[in-house]
Amino acid sequence: MSSFDLYLDLALIFFLLLVVLNYRVHRSVLYPPFIFCAMWLLDLVVIRSHFIELDPIHGNTLAIVAAGAASFSVGGLLAGFAPREWLSIHIRLVPTKAKRTSDFLRNTLMIVLLCGLPILFLQTLQLSKLGGGGSSILTQARVELIVITQSGELRDQPFVLNYFPPIAIFTSLLFATGKKDWKFWVVTVVSFIGCILSTGRGGLLVLIAGLSAISLLQRKQESLRGAIKFLRFPIAFFVALFIGLIFIDKNTADMTGGIAEIVSNSTISYIVGPLAGLDSVVQNPSHFTTTTSHTFQSFLKIAGALHITTYTMPPMIDSYVFVPFPMNVYTVFKFYFLELGIVGTLALLLFIGLLHCLLYLKASRGGRFSTYLFANFMYPVLLVTYDDQYGLYLRVIAFGLVYFILGSVPFRLFPANWQRKQYRAAMVRS
């Protein structure tokens, strides 16, 4: 047995213990440390299976990952000591019971999304024409979108293509926290179509994982057995979409082998590649020195916009390494490790684990706003073996706040509704 396999086996045992212990804390598959460690356990199992050729991963890299998972888990334990009265505090402007937001607001959002969908299709079609033909519309649009992203010119990205999918997803998840009527299903179908037209897969994962989390919370079906019974359909649906889109929005003409080999290499490389990429960073950190902060970019962008500080956005697409196939994502750890060091990484993961678990405990008590936030935050914890997505959620919070605050505004502030009430009052007096 090589030292590489020995280190992997030790890491597998460690993560198996963490998964079991974290599940026993709340006996819930939605408990963030359980998901965090389960994703790493799955990643290591696939790597240990040697399905595809992969550069060896050193023991110190696996130790950093294991220590980070343990730190995240400790944050979850600390959240369990939060006083229950804290978790029962609600923001007055945000409705917390299963009360429907105003029909006016729901109808407005639904109409806006229905009107925006044809525009999204036209922008995707126009983007695909820049490639000169030869492939499917989605494939050509994806290639051109990558070119625009690599150039760093965000203003060159089609506006609707950039903003429609996330807004549609946020709206679907917001509607899901209330009554799932026909308006919810219309918005959700529009969201799925928008995610596909955007040529990416991240939006589909946000939507499917978020809706699944909301359903499990509402059904009180968080045990492993109950969750597996419910989740087998959403997981199968996502896997089918993921595989099907490989042949729709990716250029498979340059890939060798049959359909099974293309699917296998395209999926497994996404699973095992990022950890091998992180190993390259840990072994040669000087080769990946950054001149701008990725970890705190959301806050620094706001500070830069307010002229509090000068901030330069990092590249939208990271540099490639060969592991031996090209890879440009490096798990949740890369930028934490480069910018904060090992101790800073562990401290930050403990803090993130604490906040994420507080949000879980809050959502498990049924608050609509906290449920909406938790549903969106399923995405970063599911992608910890792939990339860091924890710093990109200010717009999630802002959109939810605006939605619920407007929904709690007294109806008399809306002219049509105010006139209707005045008419009814006059009829009663007469």
| Residue 371 · residue 177 · CB < 8 Å | yes
Rounded distance between C-alpha atoms, residue 359 and residue 353, angstroms:
10
What is the pLDDT at residue 333? 95
What is the pLDDT at residue 97? 47
Most confident of the following: 153-157, 189-193, 324-328: 189-193
Confidence at 153, pLDDT banded by 50, 70, 90: low
Rounded distance between C-alpha atoms, residue 221 and residue 214, angstroms:
10
Give first-to-last CA distance, the chain, whole Å. 92
Total residue count of the chain as it appears in this document: 430
Q: What count of other Cβ atoms lies within 10 Å of the Cβ of residue 139? A: 20
What is the pLDDT at residue 177? 92
Q: Give residue limits of the domains in the chain.
A: 3-421
What is the pLDDT at residue 139? 82
What is the pLDDT at residue 152? 60
Rounded distance between C-alpha atoms, residue 136 and residue 145, angstroms:
14
Is the pLDDT assigned to residue 145 strictly greater than 50? Answer: yes
What is the pLDDT at residue 429? 57
Is the pLDDT assigned to residue 179 strictly greater than 50? Answer: yes
Rounded distance between C-alpha atoms, residue 200 and residue 131, angstroms:
17
In degrees and rounded to multiples of 5, residue 327 shows phi and psi of: -145, 135
Calculate what percentage of the chain has a pLDDT beyond 70: 85
What is the pLDDT at residue 92? 47
pLDDT greater at residue 292 or residue 276 = 276
- Predicted TM-score of the model (pTM): 0.88
As a three-state string, the secondary structure of the chain is CCHHHHHHHHHHHHHHHHHHHHHHHHCCCCCHHHHHHHHHHHHHHHHHCCCCCCCCCCHHHHHHHHHHHHHHHHHHHHHCCCCHHHHCCCCCCCCCCCCCCCHHHHHHHHHHHHHHHHHHHHHHHHHHHCCCCCCCHHHHHHHHHHHHHHHCCHHHCCHHHHHHHHHHHHHHHHHHCCCCCHHHHHHHHHHHHHHHHCCCCHHHHHHHHHHHHHHHHHHCCCCHHHHHHHHHHHHHHHHHHHHHHHHHHCCHHHCCCCHHHHHHHHHHHHHHHHHHHHHHHHHCHHHHCCCCCCCCHHHHHHHHHCCCCCCCCCCCCCCCEECCCEECCCCCCHHHHHHHHHHHHHHHHHHHHHHHHHHHHHHCCCCHHHHHHHHHCHHHHHCCCCCCCCCCCHHHHHHHHHHHHHHCCCHHHCHHHHHHHHHHHHHHHC
Half-sphere exposure of 421 (CA within 13 A, CB side): 9
| Residue 66 · residue 13 · CB < 8 Å | no
Rounded distance between C-alpha atoms, residue 364 and residue 397, angstroms:
18
As a three-state string, the secondary structure of 305-352 is HCCCCCCCCCCCCCCCEECCCEECCCCCCHHHHHHHHHHHHHHHHHHH
Handedness of CA 345, 336, 195, 102 (dihedral sign): positive
In degrees and rounded to multiples of 5, residue 82 shows phi and psi of: -65, 135
Is the pLDDT assigned to residue 418 strictly greater than 50? Answer: no
Half-sphere exposure of 320 (CA within 13 A, CB side): 6
**What pLDDT digit, counting tens, does each position of 193-249 carry?**
999 998 888 999 999 999 999 999 999 999 999 999 999 999 999 988 888 888 777
What is the pLDDT at residue 93? 45
